[in-house]
């Protein structure tokens, strides 16, 4: 039982005539100062029913509540403040963490239910840029968090490998491309062609029309169009897989938009059979006025399909294939209207399982406040950024610990981890400005800071002459800084659940920073290895801290080196 449940149950025993257990739980707060207790219940909600001032209600509740499990329960103004029994709590928490190890915080909430997660999805024939980082690492973290809670995440890389842009790229290749030049440096050369042709298409409608015609040939199965497109795809995947290797991220399926090209007719026919398709200026649409949305354009006047046509086929395929309990799309916030239309069309077609689809949106990564744009050639390649981060980590390790045995491996873990952690500590709906200096710093709220706290604990444990013992905690239970760590460790299972419910890895990243800070504060004033009666209890405290720090980092896809 967690501390919030303990308090809620104690309150419910005397408030069952006025509030439900769920209502009580939702009202419980954490006081701003630990001097006011560990948890608090505000009595304002009861004033009208009980016809008493909140201060009087709080005072009465403090008298009536069973104090078992609490050091004390007291009223302060309109609040009932609960002080947990520190010794009992510390023993329970540390024993549980040490016994469970990395499984601490795991729970079978999902009962093995399938959760396809659409993530990463870079466009073939374009650089894997910093702009693709967010979908990749947020989706991977959400998968790990759901797996810890008993779901079966299915990571799908829905590659951007279909659409008019490939018709334009074929146009550029036919006009200016050279096979040998492209083979020598595929992505850079294809990017040059893409930027050039987009600039031309903007000025010359004939060029734009030529690109449209090449894409139409792709859709109609033209041999030459598909051969060139397949070549673009193959050379791109070689590049992408190298970057995924550096990130330490794997996928269950690489099924891009093209995978659904032969599955679109069925969904279009289905919409037509249900009387949902209407002609508008030669195109086919689904009217979504009742949802306060613009019409969904299903087919253009020339019969070409759009993103939404392919995404409708994708959604139906995933439901049939995986019978998902929920289906997640980790895609930028600028696509929110698209996903609202997608769900609305499915709903209109009678697919009520569309309620189980969630667009996990996120804000943009910028540089110098400016948006990245492949069309305009303004990109920062992710691989270059990762390599630079590793180089900077190597420099810091050379300064701080030049004799480190496995410095190259650690530098990779720190550098790549820094980039991933910086992204994930940002609330996903917010964006951030890309800054390597800030990312790779060992100071401040960064990945290396958390990793260093874990490595420092491992160093202490290697030097210890005793073994951790969670039964000897008299010193730990009375230390204010140790108590802050205990409370944080106790909260970890709730943190994992909250991160899953909100699809928000930043909840775990911020927790890891807070726990590392709590450890460093404790370490600054306590001689952990001092040979006295409290040694084994202190070792239990820091060992449990290391276990949870490592697991929090793992859920974010970040390694926790034992030495740094």
Tens of pLDDT, residues 244-257: 999 999 999 999 88
Is 252 contained in some domain? Answer: no
Residue at which a domain ends, from 84, 107, 125: 84
Is 494 contained in some domain? Answer: yes
- Among 245, 555, 549, 556, which residue's Cα sits nearest to residue 412? 245
pLDDT at 87: 92
- Is residue 30's pLDDT more than 80? yes
Dig out the tokens for 364 from the structure.
């943009």
pLDDT at 322: 98
The mean predicted confidence, pLDDT, of the chain is 93
pLDDT at 327: 98
- Is residue 375's pLDDT more than 80? no
pLDDT at 126: 83
Residue at which a domain ends, from 84, 105, 140: 84
Is 501 contained in some domain? Answer: yes
Is 61 contained in some domain? Answer: yes
**Total Cβ atoms within 10 A of residue 337:** 10
CA 215/CA 161 separation, integer angstroms? 11
Dig out the tokens for 411 from the structure.
């530098």
Q: Which residues of 364-401 are buried (b: 16+ CB within 10 A; e: fewer)?
A: ebeeeeeebebeeeebbbbbebbebbbebbbebbeeee
CA 16/CA 67 separation, integer angstroms? 17
> Which of 192-196, 216-220, 319-323 reaches the highest mean pLDDT?
319-323
* SS3 category, 21: helix
| Residues 190-217, mean pLDDT to the nearest whole number | 92
pLDDT at 506: 98
Confidence of residue 34 (pLDDT cuts 50, 70, 90): confident
pLDDT at 439: 78
**Phi and psi at residue 29, in whole multiples of 5°?**
-120, 165
Confidence of residue 539 (pLDDT cuts 50, 70, 90): very high
Confidence of residue 303 (pLDDT cuts 50, 70, 90): confident
Is 510 contained in some domain? Answer: yes
How many whole angstroms from its chain centre is CA 53?
44
**Phi and psi at residue 248, in whole multiples of 5°?**
70, 35
| Percent of the chain surpassing pLDDT 70 | 98
Q: Which residues of 266-294 are buried (b: 16+ CB within 10 A; e: fewer)?
A: ebbebbeeeebbeeeeebbbbebeeeebe
pLDDT at 379: 65
| Residues 440-445, mean pLDDT to the nearest whole number | 82
Residue at which a domain ends, from 37, 61, 84: 84
Dig out the tokens for 321 from the structure.
């294939």
pLDDT at 276: 97
Tens of pLDDT, residues 318-339: 999 999 999 999 999 999 999 9
Name the pairing type of β-strands 296-299 and 283-286: antiparallel
pLDDT at 191: 87
| Residues 212-234, mean pLDDT to the nearest whole number | 93
Helix residue ranges per DSSP H, 35-132: 47-50, 54-64, 86-100
Confidence of residue 483 (pLDDT cuts 50, 70, 90): very high
* SS3 category, 356: helix
pLDDT at 442: 74
pLDDT at 378: 57
Dig out the tokens for 69 from the structure.
């499990």
Confidence of residue 380 (pLDDT cuts 50, 70, 90): confident
- Is residue 374's pLDDT more than 60? no
pTM above 0.85, yes or no: yes
pLDDT at 298: 95
Is 115 contained in some domain? Answer: no
Q: Please return the burial class of 525, using the count of CB atoms within 10 Å of its CB with bins 0-12, 13-18 and 19+.
A: exposed
- Is residue 372's pLDDT more than 80? no
Which CATH number characterizes residue 457's domain?
Answer: 1.10.730.10
Tens of pLDDT, residues 486-511: 999 999 999 999 999 999 999 999 99
Which CATH number characterizes residue 78's domain?
Answer: 3.30.1360.70
Find out whether 127 and 374 touch, Cβ atoms under 8 Å: yes
pLDDT at 333: 94
- Is residue 239's pLDDT more than 80? yes
Query: What is the number of structural domains in the chain?
Result: 2
pLDDT at 349: 97
Tens of pLDDT, residues 108-145: 999 999 999 999 999 888 888 888 899 999 999 999 99
Sheet of 39-42, strand order: 39-42, 79-84, 70-76
Tens of pLDDT, residues 264-290: 999 999 999 999 999 999 999 999 999
Maximal CA-CA distance, the chain: 85
pLDDT at 127: 82
Confidence of residue 376 (pLDDT cuts 50, 70, 90): low
Is 419 contained in some domain? Answer: yes
Is 476 contained in some domain? Answer: yes
End-to-end CA gap in the chain: 36
| Residues 293-317, mean pLDDT to the nearest whole number | 91
CA 460/CA 519 separation, integer angstroms? 13
Instruction: Give the structural domain span for 75.
Output: 3-84
Find out whether 118 and 498 touch, Cβ atoms under 8 Å: no
């Amino acid at each position: 039982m967690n501390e919030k449940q303990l308090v809620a149950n104690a309150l419910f025993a005397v408030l069952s005539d006025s509030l439900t257990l769920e209502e009580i739980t939702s009202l419980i707060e954490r006081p701003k100062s630990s001097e006011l207790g560990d948890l608090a219940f505000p009595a304002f909600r009861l004033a009208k029913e009980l016809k008493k001032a909140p201060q009087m209600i709080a005072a009465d509740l403090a008298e009536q509540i069973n104090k078992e499990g609490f050091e004390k329960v007291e009223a302060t103004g309109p609040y009932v403040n609960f002080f947990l029994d520190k010794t009992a709590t510390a023993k329970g928490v540390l024993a549980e963490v040490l016994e469970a190890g990395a499984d601490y915080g795991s729970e079978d909430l999902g009962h093995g239910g399938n959760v396809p997660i659409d993530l990463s999805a870079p466009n073939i024939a374009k650089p894997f840029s910093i702009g693709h980082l967010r979908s990749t690492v947020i989706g991977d973290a959400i998968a790990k968090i759901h797996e810890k809670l008993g779901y079966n995440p299915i990571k799908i890389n829905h590659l951007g490998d279909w659409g008019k842009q490939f018709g334009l790229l074929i146009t550029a290749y036919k006009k200016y491309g050279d096979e040998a030049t492209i083979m020598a440096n595929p992505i850079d050369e294809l990017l040059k062609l893409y930027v050039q042709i987009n600039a031309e298409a903007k000025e010359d409608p004939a060029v734009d029309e030529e690109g449209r015609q090449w894409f139409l040939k792709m859709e109609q199965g033209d041999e030459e169009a598909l051969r060139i497109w397949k070549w673009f795809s193959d050379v791109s995947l070689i590049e992408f897989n190298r970057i995924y290797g550096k990130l330490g991220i794997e996928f269950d399926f690489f099924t891009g938009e093209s995978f659904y090209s032969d599955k679109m007719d069925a969904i279009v026919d289905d919409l037509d059979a249900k009387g949902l398709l209407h002609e508008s200026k030669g195109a086919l649409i689904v009217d979504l006025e009742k949802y306060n949305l613009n019409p969904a354009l299903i087919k253009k006047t020339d019969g070409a399909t759009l993103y939404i046509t392919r995404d409708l086929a994708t959604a139906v395929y995933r439901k049939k294939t995986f019978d998902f309990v929920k289906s997640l799309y980790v895609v930028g916030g600028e696509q929110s209207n698209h996903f609202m239309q997608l769900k609305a069309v499915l709903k209109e077609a009678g697919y009520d399982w569309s309620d189980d689809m969630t667009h996990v949106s996120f804000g943009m990564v910028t540089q110098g406040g400016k948006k990245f744009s492949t069309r305009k050639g303004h990109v920062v390649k992710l691989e270059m950024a990762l390599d630079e981060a590793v180089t900077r980590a190597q420099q810091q390790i050379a300064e701080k610990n030049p004799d480190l045995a496995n410095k190259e491996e650690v530098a990779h873990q720190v550098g790549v981890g820094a980039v991933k952690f910086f992204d994930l500590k940002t609330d996903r709906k917010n964006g951030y400005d890309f800054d390597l200096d800030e990312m790779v710093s060992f100071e401040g709220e960064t990945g290396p800071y958390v990793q260093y706290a874990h490595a420092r604990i491992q160093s202490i444990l290697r030097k210890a002459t005793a073994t951790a013992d969670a039964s000897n905690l008299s010193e730990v239970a009375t230390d204010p800084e140790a108590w802050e760590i205990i409370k944080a460790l106790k909260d970890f299972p709730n943190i994992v659940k909250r991160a899953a419910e909100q699809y928000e890895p930043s909840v775990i990243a911020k927790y890891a920073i807070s726990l590392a800070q709590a450890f460093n504060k404790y370490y600054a004033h306590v001689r952990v290895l001092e040979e006295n009666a409290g040694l084994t209890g202190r070792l239990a405290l820091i060992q449990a801290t290391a276990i949870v720090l490592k697991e929090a980092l793992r859920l974010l896809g970040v390694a926790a080196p034992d030495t740094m």
